[in-house]
Amino acid sequence: MLIGYARVSTADQLAGLEAQLRELAATGCTEKVFAETTSSVAQREQLAAALDFCREGDCLIVTKLDRLCRSVADLVAITERLRTKGVALRILSMNLDTTTPTGKLMLNLLGSIAEFERELMLERQREGIAKAKALGRYQGRAPTARRLAPQVRELRSTGLPARAIAAKLGISKSSVHRILAEASAA
C-alpha cells in the first residue's frame, strides 16, 4: 500500500498542504494519507500514526525530505523504524526510493546537508538577534505563563490541582508551580 504523509508548520501554509496532498494523490496515495499542521520540532502525531500504520511491503511517500524529518538523527530513526518493518520510503522532490542502494546512500547524504543548512540558518538567526539586542530593537517573546499568574492563583484558591490549572490555561505544570511558589514567597 502507498501511504502518504504531508506536513506544514503553520496554518498560514494551508495552500502548501493542499499542494502536497494533490502531489501525493497524483502519485497513487489514495487509500491512506496522514496530514498535519505542526512544527517539525513539535510532537508530530500524524507522522507517528503513519509510522505505526505502515506494514511490511508498504511504501511511505512524502513530497520533500524536510516535511518528514528535522535532523539527520531524526531521519536515521525514521528510516530505521521503516526498515525494521519492511517499509520503503519515497521522497518525490528528489526522485528518491530507499528500495535501492543508491537511494539509501543519497538519503543519508541529503539528510546531512539539510541538517548543515539548518544549523547555518540558526546561526544567522542568533547573530541577527544579538545585533538587534545590541541596538535595543529586540525585546524577545513576552512570557505567556507569567501573564496568567492572577488566574493561576485564583484557580488554586478554588482547590484545583496544578495539573488541572495547567490544562485549563494551556500552560505547563511547571509554570503553574513556579507561579505558585513565587506567590507564596512574596
Instruction: Tell me: pLDDT of 10 over 90.
Output: no
Three-state helix/strand/coil letters over 48-107: HHHHHHCCCCCEEEECCHHHHCCCHHHHHHHHHHHHHHCCEEEEHHHCEECCCHHHHHHH
Place of cell 513539535: 42
Find the domain containing 79 and state its range.
Answer: 2-116
Read off the pLDDT of residues 150-161 as tens digits, 9 standing for 90 and up: 888 888 888 888
Q: Are residues 10 and 94 in the same domain?
A: yes
Give domain status of residue 92, yes or no: yes
Instruction: Give me 164's grid cell.
Output: 488541572
Average pLDDT, integer, range 75-99: 88
Q: Are residues 150 and 107 in the same domain?
A: no
Instruction: Tell me: pLDDT of 143 over 80.
Output: no
Instruction: Tell me: pLDDT of 72 over 90.
Output: no
Give domain status of residue 121, yes or no: no
Q: Are residues 12 and 72 in the same domain?
A: yes
Q: Are residues 30 and 105 in the same domain?
A: yes
Q: Which residue has the higher pLDDT, 125 or 99?
A: 125
Q: Which residue has the higher pLDDT, 111 or 63?
A: 63
Q: Are residues 101 and 148 in the same domain?
A: no
Instruction: Give me 140's grid cell.
Output: 524577545
The rounded Cα 94 to chain-centroid distance in angstroms is: 21
Read off the pLDDT of residues 103-127 as tens digits, 9 standing for 90 and up: 888 877 877 777 788 788 889 999 9
Instruction: Give me 114's grid cell.
Output: 539539510
pLDDT of residue 15: 86
Residue where a domain terminates, one of 116, 131, 155: 116
Question: Of 9, 40, 175, 184, which residue is the catalytic one?
Answer: 9
Q: Are residues 148 and 100 in the same domain?
A: no
The answer to whether residue 9 is catalytic is: yes
Give domain status of residue 139, yes or no: no
Q: What is the CA radius of gyration of the chain?
A: 22
Task: Report d(CA 118, CA 45) in Å as an integer.
Answer: 23
pLDDT of residue 124: 93
Mean pLDDT, the chain, whole residue set: 86
Among 16-20, 25-29, 38-42, 168-172, the least confident range: 38-42
Q: What confidence category does residue 186 fall into, taking pLDDT thresholds of 50, 70 and 90?
A: low
Q: What confidence category does residue 2 fall into, taking pLDDT thresholds of 50, 70 and 90?
A: very high
* Number of structural domains the chain divides into: 2
Residue 62 CB contacts under 8 Å (≥ 6 apart), including other chains: 4, 5, 6, 68, 89, 90, 91, 92
Q: Are residues 26 and 95 in the same domain?
A: yes
Q: What confidence category does residue 57 fall into, taking pLDDT thresholds of 50, 70 and 90?
A: very high
What share of residues in the chain are helix, strand, coil (percent, to 5)? 60, 10, 25
Instruction: Give me 78's grid cell.
Output: 525514521
Q: Are residues 74 and 157 in the same domain?
A: no
For residue 88, the domain's CATH number is 3.40.50.1390
Place of cell 518528514: 68
Could you give the angle at which helices 162-169 and 149-157 cross, rounded to 10 degrees?
140
